[in-house]
Amino acid sequence: MGVTGTGRDVGAAGRHAGMAAGRVIFAILAAIGLIALAGCGRDTLGPRGGASHGSPASRPDADWVEIEHAARGQKVYFNAWAGDSRVNAFIAWSTIELRKRYGINLVHVKTQDTAEAVTRIIAEKSAGRDRDGSVDLVWINGENFAALKARDLLFGPFVPRLPAAKFIDFAGQPVFSSDFTIPVNGFEAPWGLSFFVFTYDSAAIPTPPRNFAELTRWVKAHPGRFTYPAPPDFIGSTFLKQALLSLSPGNEKLFAAPVSPAQFDEVTAPLWAWLDALHPYLWRKGLTFPPNGPAQRQLLADGEVDLSMAFNPSDARAAAASGQLPETARSYGFSSGSVANAHFLAIPANAKAKEAALVTINFLLSAEAQARKSDVRLWGDAGVLVLDRLPEPDKARFTALAEAGHLASADIPGPVLAEPHPSWMEALEKAWLTRYGAK
Amino acid sequence: MAQNSRSGSLAGAWPGLALAIGLGGTLLVATAGVLAPAFGWLPALGGTRPGLEPFVLFFSSPGIFRAMGLSLFVGLSATTLAVLCTHATLAACYTSRWFAPLAWQSRLVLVAPHVAIALSIAFLFTPSGLIMRWLSPGITGWTSPPDYLFPQDPFGLALILGLAVKEFPFLLGLAIAQLGQIQPRPALHAAASMGYGPLRAFILVISPRLATRLRFPVYVALAYAISSVDQALVLGSASAPVLSVRLLQWFNDPDLDARFPLAAGAVVLVGLTGIGFGLWWLGERVLAGFVRYGAASGRRMGPVDALMRAGAGLGILALVLTTIGLFGLGLNAFAAHWRFPDDWPAGFSPMIFADAMKSVAPAAGASAAFALAAAVFSVLWVLAALEASQFYPRLATTLHVLMFVPLVVPDISLLFGLSGFWSALRLDGQWMTVLWAHLLFTIPYSWLILAGPFRNFDEGMVVSARLLGAGRWGAFWRVKIPALAAPILAAFGIAALVSASLYLPTLFAGGGRITTLATESIALAQSGDRRLLGALALAMMVLPLIAVEGSALAPKWLLRNRAGLNGAPA
């Protein structure tokens, strides 16, 4: 573009100056774009992107050193329920440790409900994305595990390959091998153990209800002071299950098998009758429900309700340790029985960073991580290891916690109610939503 | 020269062309991505028979008409409230000494993202919230919280309040800028000399002109209110949600067949917004008729004055309360214990704040990075496109029209259309894709702010500079850019602000794998650990405040040696 100095052409020159400026700005933009694209390309198309056919995870004979080597530099998208800030803080700690020790980049994908991750995996499958999926590791159990396993969307069996597997208490805890009656078969690794508890402030109500008959009387005597998380939140759904198991006793065989519609209506009739009678006496008259367990714990902390519920016997101790609930808070199980189950870690079949996912699971099962998870001041979730089988220094981590009174207990102080087949939970959630859900 | 221009035809305009193609292409992909499944075509999920089945599914899902009605009701009510409060506040305060502090106060609420406003309102009004804590037990006598359903009431009243509180300062800020051009004082003085009260004078003389100038922003606000998702998730009813939230629930449904009614619903939501626009237009006509009638009646005073005073009071009260709520929520981040009915926290703990900040830091970093990248990218690109397209009127018009689309079409509809495309190309969850989604909204805002000043720029200044011996670049950098520095920096601040508050675009483009303050706070709003929410609210206030205040102050400093540009008398 020639520069013209004559007056007649100054207007045009100005216009050209403008265009040239535009071009320079655009060139800067293009450069930024190219750099960014290159960076993004490295992320998706680089040499270590994706488990190729020879990758250690895909060869059952690959030894652990090889897996750890391949895991270095991989990015693990860990889809984990993020409703509890203490759990999130624990995962944040794991992220730092994994980067330091194994060069793994753990990314906590914060889900509101594990079903979101299941949806994503199924959607990827139906779109033909058989590898390089967007979920590498998922915190899972029950109906979500059943859904993925039935569709062959899980990687494994991988549990026997983990060096930490030999310390897991498979013999003592049948729920580690049978998740909501579905055989685990090494497709998910047990991570923690829970049973269903109620939490209350002993300074506010000295004698909380200890079975469903007492609960009914108590709720009617104290209108507006009780509620439960809206199913399909897992705490809310578990409350429904526990009520069903207690209100329709003697049906263990029926609950252990897949649900049939005809039986469902008959067996659940007492549950719906009970809920219909209860709802007018609930918080907000049963017109709305807290979205999840921690939200109900906040309602308890705010004095809006007198009871909350959790899948963690250390719920009250942990919440008191963090200052959310007063020191007088207590958790307890119903004398009529508590639903108990385990929660697990699984790897989708189309996961991109399988090696790093394996190393992450093995780390989360290490005595150090398990002891930290059991510390009620940090999370307070009961562990899965046989302490007597651990080497002395590892065992000492747990004994020190126990002596200080900070170890989460795995002992259930009452009868255990076995989880029904996952199809019951799905049917219950659907029926609840039809009756009381979004209108 | 002339020959050169003609042979180069559109080549010289390529930054503008690239923007038109980028934006137009994105909108085309989004449209196709919604329309195809809405009419039954989505082969990945077995949809190979085009038809109206998805619409049948949509309209037969329970409570869907209630959800549609609620969306319309909420959108129209919130916008009506915001517009009335804007006119009333200006009528009541424009000439008073309260006006300057009020304008500053409204900016504080303006920079807070929608989610932060929603959290503030929830913390204020919930039965165990700040207001009840202050009133109890002293005034109410209650030692445990009452049991009423607000927020999340089934009529959407809390949501209306949240949307109105956010739209009011937005419209107020724009109205103040417009009043600078209308120069209302002479007209008001003339009206006063004829015996009209100040409020009535403002409504009869200034409001109609102001309304004309604010028409487009009001439609943008209305479209937003009809389809808002982030505020609806916090303040709306969970058991009787608005249409946009129903669509999001379908998006998260593990049963992928829900994508078909979802696509149909995304189309319906666009139509619903159109109906909202129609109703608004009608309402405006009716109101204009009343104003004309009032003017013709010749009355100097009337009940309108009281109504306007009430509106102004309501608007100012809402702004002040929301600010108090934000700081009250922020206080939770430091509180060791703060239980109902205590007026203040029983103790403060720096540890809790440190912990909360640690868990908020990564999301805050991501928010800041996206805000900065989106602001730089959109301002530079818009500048280049404006500069390049100024001599190509057809291109300029095309760009102008394209810019309006993302502002008036419900974002969930656009983003659902794009999400299929992104995930098919495995672009979801990438940093670049989230930036792309942010640009879809930050570029139009930058354009709206820059287009006017750019058009009105006196090209003669560049010519004079060239005649005085400045080089091409010298003239551009030392004359044109400084002359436009204020709007450029304002566009930068607004783009950063818009980016920091984007929830759905981050969620859809990030595939849940990229977390910003906006997505994190919605996720945590549900589980309600209030100390963490407090830390999030603080972080969400600080970032945009830096961006907006910084971009307002920067020109004064940058141009401190240039009389005539820095506001100092020449």
Here the ipTM equals: 0.85
pLDDT at A73: 96
DSSP-assigned beta bridge partners for residue A109 = A79
pLDDT digits (tens, 9 = 90+) for A82-101: 888 889 999 999 999 999 99
Nearest alpha-carbon partner for A230 in A81, A437, A80, A434? A437
Q: Does the CB of B65 have a partner CB in chain A at under 8 Å?
A: no
Q: Mean pLDDT, to the nearest integer, of A395-419?
A: 86
Q: How far apart are alpha carbons B278 and B268 in whole angstroms?
A: 15
pLDDT band at residue A323, thresholds of 50, 70 and 90? confident
Pick from A10, A134, A439: which is nearest to B511 by CB?
A134
Q: Does the CB of B11 have a partner CB in chain A at under 8 Å?
A: no
List, as ranges, residues 230-259 from B with C-beta within 8 Å of A.
237-241, 246, 249, 252-254, 256
pLDDT digits (tens, 9 = 90+) for A255-281: 999 999 989 999 999 999 999 999 999
pLDDT band at residue A23, thresholds of 50, 70 and 90? low
Strands B335-337 and A197-201: unpaired
Q: Does the CB of B432 have a partner CB in chain A at under 8 Å?
A: yes
Q: How far apart are alpha carbons A291 and A233 in whole angstroms?
A: 7
Virtual torsion, Cα A106, A110, A115, A116, nearest 10 deg: -100
Tokens 């928010």, located at residue: B367
List, as ranges, residues 411-430 from A with C-beta within 8 Å of B.
none
Q: What residues of chain A lie within 8 A of the CB of B149, using their CB?
A: 284-285, 287-288
Maximum CA pair distance of chain A? 102
**Closest chain B residue to A324 measured between Cα atoms?**
B337
List, as ranges, residues 341-400 from A with C-beta within 8 Å of B.
none
Q: What residues of chain B lie within 8 A of the CB of A17, using their CB?
A: 462, 466, 472-473, 475-476
Name residues whose C-beta falls within 8 Å of residue B293's C-beta, 6 or more positions apart in sequence. none
- The reported pTM is 0.88
Q: How far apart are alpha carbons B529 and B534 in whole angstroms?
A: 9
Nearest alpha-carbon partner for A347 in A139, A181, A193, A166? A139
Amino acid at B400: H
Best mutation site among B1, B140, B243 for testing chain A: the one with the most A CBs within 10 Å?
B1
Q: Does the CB of A95 have a partner CB in chain B at under 8 Å?
A: no
Size of interface A-B (CB pairs under 8 A): 224
- What tokens does A17 get? 């100056």
pLDDT at A3 over 70: no
Look at A119 and B66 and tell me if their CB atoms are within 8 Å.
no
Digitized pLDDT (tens) for each residue of chain B, 570 residues in all: 333 444 345 666 888 999 999 999 999 999 999 999 999 998 878 888 899 999 999 999 988 999 999 999 999 999 999 999 999 999 998 888 888 888 888 888 888 899 999 999 999 999 999 999 999 888 888 888 999 999 999 999 999 999 999 999 999 989 988 888 888 889 999 998 998 888 888 999 999 999 999 999 999 999 999 999 999 999 998 888 999 999 998 988 777 889 999 999 999 999 999 999 999 999 999 999 988 988 888 888 777 888 889 999 999 999 999 999 999 999 988 888 888 888 999 888 888 788 888 888 989 999 999 999 999 999 999 988 988 887 888 999 999 999 999 999 999 999 999 998 998 888 988 999 999 999 999 999 999 999 988 888 888 888 898 898 888 777 877 888 888 888 999 999 999 999 999 999 999 999 888 999 999 888 888 776 788 888 888 888 888 888 888 888 888 787 777 766 655 443
**Closest chain B residue to A114 measured between Cα atoms?**
B254
Share of chain A above pLDDT 90, in %: 65
Look at B239 and A122 and tell me if their CB atoms are within 8 Å.
no
pLDDT band at residue A24, thresholds of 50, 70 and 90? low
Look at B249 and A438 and tell me if their CB atoms are within 8 Å.
yes
pLDDT at A402 over 60: yes
Q: Cα B536 from chain centroid? A: 19
Name residues whose C-beta falls within 8 Å of residue A179's C-beta, 6 or more positions apart in sequence. A141, A142, A145, A146, A188, A341, A342, A344, A419
